[in-house]
Structure 1
Amino acid sequence: MLDVRRLRLLRELAHRGTIAAVARALAYTPSAVSQQLSTLEREAGTVLLERTGRQVTLTPAALTLVAHAEVVLERLEQAAADLAATREGPSGPLRIGAFPSAARTILPAALVALEEGHPQLEPHVHELDPAEVAAALRTGEVDVALVHTYDFVAALPEPGLDTIHLFDEPMFLAAPRTMEPLPDDDPLRRWREAPWIVAPTTTRCGTMTMRACEAAGFVPRVRHVIDDFPTALALVGVGSGVALIPQLGVADPAPEIMLVPLPMQRSTWAACRRGALTRAAITAFASAVRSAASNLQPPRP
């Protein structure tokens, strides 16, 4: 009989690539991970890993087993969701991952709604970059997490995860009131000669900014690379450049900053392990976030 815990280790190895990375993620020692995978090979009766020095490669048999492991783990999540449905309302701990702008603007009201509507639920919030969400969900660090997508940046499907759409928010170009744009029909191309403040291109926000500018017919002249909306707005406020900011990032803009609405948006989703989407605690959380988002006031244009 194949052991589910060892199947989980094999799946993590397929996603992370090295035994050391699996050990760090799951709080094992590398030798313990190797021993468990060797035991799984004996259980499977076939070679799962090809070892070359410190490198390991999954064999075709291992990849087949990983695909089955995804199905098994999904069914276990569904079983947990079905058992939870037999209880009277959601209860117990709910570990929530959230990106900073949502944690600052959306989550406080959502947590109040959860406490009032489901007093037996115990939410625990972890601030997470969306790039870290998939790994945190698979290892069980969080049960549900907020992630976002931007126009111009397609979201790649993550094996073993489900998502549900929560809300959309408009994008704004933040510029100093002292900076004059060029005349143009395109609201983004007007700022083609301005210095730009962008997030790193390794982030979705940074990729979105570069692609949006390229679609408008220019390459932005990057002056600052900042992965934090409040810091970017502070630099805009002192005249250091312009930046693309979603609504949640400009809840209270300074008077010296003007916001230009753009025909673009950022979308926020709730992500969870596949099979857990019907879990009462997760549906309650999604409902609370949607309600909180619907009550947001648009920023001053």
Structure 2
Amino acid sequence: MTLDLRRMMLLCDLAELGSVAAVAEQRRVTSSAVSQQLRALEHDTGAVLFRRDGRTLGMTRTGEVLVQHVRKVLSALDEAETAIAAARTGVLGNIAVASFNMGIPMLVAPMMSRLRLAHPDLNVALQQESAEHALRLLRRSELDIAILCRYPFDAPHSAAGLIDEHLMDEPMVLLAPLDQHDRIRAEGIGALAESPWVTGPVSSGLSTTLGQVAGAAGFVPKVKHRVIGAQNLCMLAATEVASAIAPRMAVPAEFESLIVRDVGFAARTISAVVRHNRQRDPNIKLVLRELHDVVAANWPETQRRPLRVAV
């Protein structure tokens, strides 16, 4: 009996997500394609691997056993990749990185530029992903590093099998029309209770931050504009038609005058996540060190924790 690893990885996705539709969405294929591959896997194993449990699909005992072994296989492949990388002479190979939107200009692009000059044989491939999808790709061994941002109110991700490497704590700042700054410093953010705001989509980190800050000051913000992306938020705030709470690094230099000084909020944490068995890979260690160097060179005040790259 020969089992297809790709089909077994689909079974792992099903165990985690609970439905063929959710697996298809994450894999960006059709539900019929996922169902076909899962049926083929059951045929290959000669066993029933999952059953419908209400509105979701649950693993049978056989399915659970196979999922456990697939995860062991993926872990062994990680160890093999790390060992091969360590045995090479020179720096070469491929590293797949995913990042949230602002992590690309802040961290990944400068890191890739530095590596291209110093280590041209190391190929870094980048894709922009949400935190949830990036972590899923990382666990499926389709990524090597996931760069994530997390707000203080976000639930922590499952740390099983993963190493979270802190990169920086990025402050959140208030952007407001210049003629309001003195009043805000005197009265607090409540001075903007009747003013229009620009923030992110409902339930986004930016929108939730604004709601919590305003709630603590005793008002409900009058949100007039909702945009996707911190850079777009800053651009609209720069017209001085609305105030905004934005990540500090998203504010272009030409708009820094709009930041209300001496008014600060909790920071969001930016980290690089790798699988436990890959943390000793020389190429991954190199990429992480370059990311730390980019932070140290551009925002040294945001580094609050020591480097934890495995040696």
TM-score bracket relative to the smaller structure:
0.7 to 0.9
Distance (Å, rounded) in 2 between the aligned partners of 1:162 and 1:138? 11
Task: State the distance in 1 between where 2:216 and 2:285 align.
Answer: 37
Which residue is 1:118 aligned to?
Answer: 119
Does structure 2 conserve the Cα–Cα contact (< 8 Å) formed by 1:151 and 1:266? yes
Match of 2:283 among 281, 290, 297: 281
* Shift in Å, 1:109: 2.4
116-125 or 13-22, larger mean C-alpha shift: 13-22
3-state SS of paired residue (2:253)? coil
Say if 1:255 and 1:117 are closer, same or farther in 2 by CA, change over 3 A: closer
Q: Which moved more, 1:71-80 or 1:183-192?
A: 183-192
Partners of 2:297 and 2:149 lie apart in 1 by: 19
The structural deviation recorded for 1:9 is 1.1
Contact 1:174–1:259, Cα closer than 8 Å, also in 2? yes
Counterpart in 2 of 1:152?
153
Alpha-carbon spacing, 1:155–1:201, altered in 2? closer, same or farther (3 Å): farther
Q: What's the C-alpha RMSD, in Å, of the aligned pairs?
A: 3.3
Please report the TM-score for the alignment, with normalisation by the length of structure 1: 0.82
SS at match of 1:262: strand
Q: Which residue of the partner structure matches residue 257 of structure 1? A: 258
1:191 corresponding residue in structure 2: 192
Give the Å deviation of 1:188: 4.0
TM-score, length basis structure 2: 0.80
Partners in 1 of 2:7 and 2:134 — Cα distance? Answer: 22
Q: Quick check: which one's helix share is greater? A: 2
Q: Distance in 1 between matches of 2:253 and 2:191?
A: 24
CA contact (8 A) 1:153 1:207 kept: no
Q: Cα deviation per residue 1:157-215 (whole Å; 9 max; x = unaligned)? A: 26654421112222111111133575677854443333221212332333233233334
Equivalent residue, structure 1, for 2:94:
93
CA contact (8 A) 2:134 2:146 kept: yes
Equivalent residue number for residue 212 of structure 2: 211
Q: Are 1:229 and 1:249, in contact at CA under 8 Å, matched by a contact in 2?
A: yes
Please state how far the C-alpha of 1:40 moved relative to its aligned partner. 3.7
3-state SS of paired residue (1:278): coil
Shift of 1:46: 4.5
Alignment partners' CA distance in 1, 2:189 and 2:75: 44
Question: Is 1:168 equivalent to 2:169 in the alignment?
Answer: yes
Post-superposition Cα deviations, 1:200-239, rounded to whole Å, max 9, x if no partner, equal: 2332333233233334443322221122222212221222
Residue in 2 that maps onto 1:293? 295
How far apart, CA to CA, are the structure 2 residues paired with 1:5 and 1:274?
21
Residue 30 of structure 1 and its aligned partner are, at CA, apart by 4.3
Aligned residues: 298
Counterpart Cα distance in 1 of 2:187 and 2:150: 23
| Post-superposition offset of 1:281 | 1.8
Does the aligned pair in 1 maintain the 2:184–2:192 contact within 8 Å? no
- Match of 2:88, SS state, is coil
**242-251 or 175-184, which moves further after superposition?**
175-184
* Cα deviation, residue 250, structure 1: 0.9
CA distance in 1, matches of 2:94, 2:60: 38
Q: Deviations over 1:106-132 (max 9, x none)?
A: 333212322233332011222333343
Contact 1:173 1:243 in 2 (8 A): yes
CA 1:258 to 1:17, structure 2 compared with 1: closer, same or farther past 3 Å?
A: same
Deviation of 1:68 (Å):
4.5
1:5 shift after superposition: 3.1
Aligned to 1:108: 109
Partners in 2 of 1:246 and 1:28 — Cα distance?
A: 34
Per the alignment, residue 133 of structure 1 pairs with 134
Other-structure match for 1:229: 230
Deviation string, structure 1 residues 43-89 (Cα, Å, up to 9, x no partner):
66653222489x65113523454344334322321222122111124
| Residue segments in structure 1 that go unaligned for 5+ positions in a row | none
CA distance in 1, matches of 2:145, 2:219: 38
State the SS of the aligned residue for 2:228.
Answer: coil
Shift of the 79–192 alpha-carbon distance from structure 1 to 2, 3 Å rule, reads farther
Query: Which runs of 5 or more structure 2 residues have no equivalent in the other structure?
Result: 301-311
Could you say which residue in structure 1 is the equivalent of 2:304?
none
Letter in 2 for 1:288: E
Which residue does 1:238 correspond to in 2?
239
> Which secondary structure does the structure 2 equivalent of 1:47 belong to?
coil
